[in-house]
């Protein structure tokens, strides 16, 4: 198969890039390792700040890949450079010869069980932000029908030297607020507490959502890290923390605890990154040689990136970056003709 661009990854960045590259009149092949397109969007129920159904946005992206050839259940087996072209062997047995490569392989979520003090995989009522989206999709919480007290822990695996990730994951504060409101709508009688270090409500509408969470839904925000979670004989969770605004210890019994796991580099890409010799930044995400002006370029000529493969981003940022990188690829292809 011959292509101008081989796009690796069928999440939002890859799908939007396929649409743009196709509009520019170039031939793109998009490969996705899973059986369905959409990436992390598939796991999410609704999107912040306007609660748009994730499936609706996903359908919009998947229905608009232009003339691009899309191959699912496929990954890169091996890749080499020959005469300036990338020769990629796929796990499906096919081979793609392309003038450029575009990596849109996204991110992974921090494995919550690594923070043993929070008891994920130990206690049934400790779940992650991703698990909660699944609950929203199904419309029920199993094991605890109507949780009277619910807690959220921010920055799980983010801003944490011990977890080898000192960076902020950018989107989990507003996601916690969104999810807390959704839980309150599901269980109006419940009390909800968010334990945070700082609240990073930088985007349009985020601050309004945070205010609404407090004034309309009565969600309580407690500044302080949770130090310990244990379980009583009834399966309830006992949380120990410190309210750092009033310098007092806090001990609360909860029926459900949600861990806001952070965004980290996807280690499944390490083989591809090694084969290509892609330079990584100190945080493990793909290095951008010109983060101010040309974020789609990498240290390899002809290899481009878009989306969260270079670090945590909001969905609008991912979409905009897919478009700008597609333009860079278009200019690159024209310059080589």
Contact set with ligand SF4 (CB under 6 A): 154-155, 158-159, 168-170, 172-173, 197-198, 200, 260, 262
Residue 68 or 158: the one with the smaller Cβ distance to ligand SF4 is: 158
As measured in angstroms, the least distance from the Cβ of 187 to ligand SF4 is: 22
Write down the least CB distance from residue 180 to ligand SF4, Å: 12
Residue (9 or 262) nearer to ligand SF4, CB: 262
Residue 31 near residue 90 (C-beta atoms within 8 A): yes
Cβ proximity to ligand SF4, 86 vs 152, nearer residue: 152
* Closest CB 155 distance from ligand SF4, rounded Å: 3
Q: How far is the CB of 289 from ligand SF4 (least distance, A)?
A: 26
Q: What is the DSSP letter of 90?
A: E
CB nearer to ligand SF4: give 22 or 175: 175
Shortest Cβ distance from residue 280 to ligand SF4 (Å)?
A: 20
Shortest approach of ligand SF4 to residue 171 CB, angstroms?
Answer: 6
Nearer to ligand SF4, 40 or 170 (CB): 170
Beta strand residue intervals within the chain, DSSP E? 2-8, 28-31, 46-47, 52-53, 69-71, 76-82, 85-90, 95-103, 107-109, 126-128, 149-156, 191-196, 220-223, 226-231, 237-243, 248-254, 256-261, 263-265, 303-305
Is residue 98 within 8 Å of 85, Cβ to Cβ? yes
DSSP state of 224: S
State the minimum distance, in angstroms, from the CB of residue 223 to ligand SF4: 11
C-alpha to C-alpha distances, 327 to 108, 290, 293, 297, 307, nearest whole angstrom: 27, 16, 13, 11, 14
The full DSSP string for 294-329 is -TTB-SSTTEEE-SGGGS---HHHHHHHHHHHHHHH
Contact yes or no for 296/306 (Cβ under 8 A)? yes
CA 235 to chain centre: 31
> Which is closer to ligand SF4, CB of 29 or CB of 263?
263
CB of 262 to ligand SF4, least distance (A): 5
Dihedral over Cα of 287, 293, 297, 299: its sign? negative
Residue among 263 and 309 whose Cβ is closer to ligand SF4? 263
Angstrom distance (rounded) from CA 47 to CA 55: 10
Nearer to ligand SF4, 4 or 160 (CB): 160
């Amino acid at each position: 198969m011959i292509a101008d661009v081989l796009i690796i990854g069928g999440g939002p960045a890859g799908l939007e890039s396929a649409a743009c590259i196709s509009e520019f009149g170039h031939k793109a092949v998009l490969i996705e390792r899973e059986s369905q397109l959409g990436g992390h969007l598939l796991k999410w129920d609704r999107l912040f700040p306007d609660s748009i159904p994730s499936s609706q946005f996903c359908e919009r992206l998947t229905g608009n890949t232009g003339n691009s050839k899309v191959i699912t259940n496929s990954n890169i087996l091996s890749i080499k450079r020959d005469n300036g072209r990338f020769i990629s062997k796929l796990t499906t047995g096919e081979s793609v010869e392309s003038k450029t490569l575009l990596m849109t392989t996204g991110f992974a979520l921090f494995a919550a069980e690594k923070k043993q003090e929070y008891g994920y995989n130990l206690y049934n009522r400790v779940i992650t932000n991703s698990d909660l989206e699944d609950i929203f999709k199904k419309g029920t919480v199993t094991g605890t029908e109507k949780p009277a007290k619910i807690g959220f822990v921010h920055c799980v695996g983010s801003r944490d030297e011990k977890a080898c990730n000192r960076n902020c994951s950018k989107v989990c504060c507003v996601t916690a607020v969104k999810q807390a409101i959704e839980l309150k709508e599901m269980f109006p009688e419940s009390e909800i507490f968010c334990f945070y270090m700082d609240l990073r409500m930088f985007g349009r509408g985020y601050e309004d959502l945070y205010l609404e969470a407090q004034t309309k839904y009565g969600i309580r925000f407690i500044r302080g890290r949770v130090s310990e979670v244990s379980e009583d004989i009834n399966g309830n969770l006992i949380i120990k923390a410190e309210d750092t605004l009033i310098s007092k210890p806090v001990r609360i019994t909860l029926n459900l605890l949600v861990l806001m796991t952070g965004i980290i580099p996807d280690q499944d890409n390490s083989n591809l990154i090694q084969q290509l010799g892609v330079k990584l930044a100190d945080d493990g995400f793909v290095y951008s040689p010109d983060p101010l002006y040309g974020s789609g370029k990498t240290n390899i000529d002809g290899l481009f990136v878009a989306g969260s493969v270079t670090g945590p981003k909001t969905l609008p940022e991912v979409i905009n970056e897919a478009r700008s990188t597609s333009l860079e690829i278009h200019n690159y292809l024209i310059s080589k003709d």
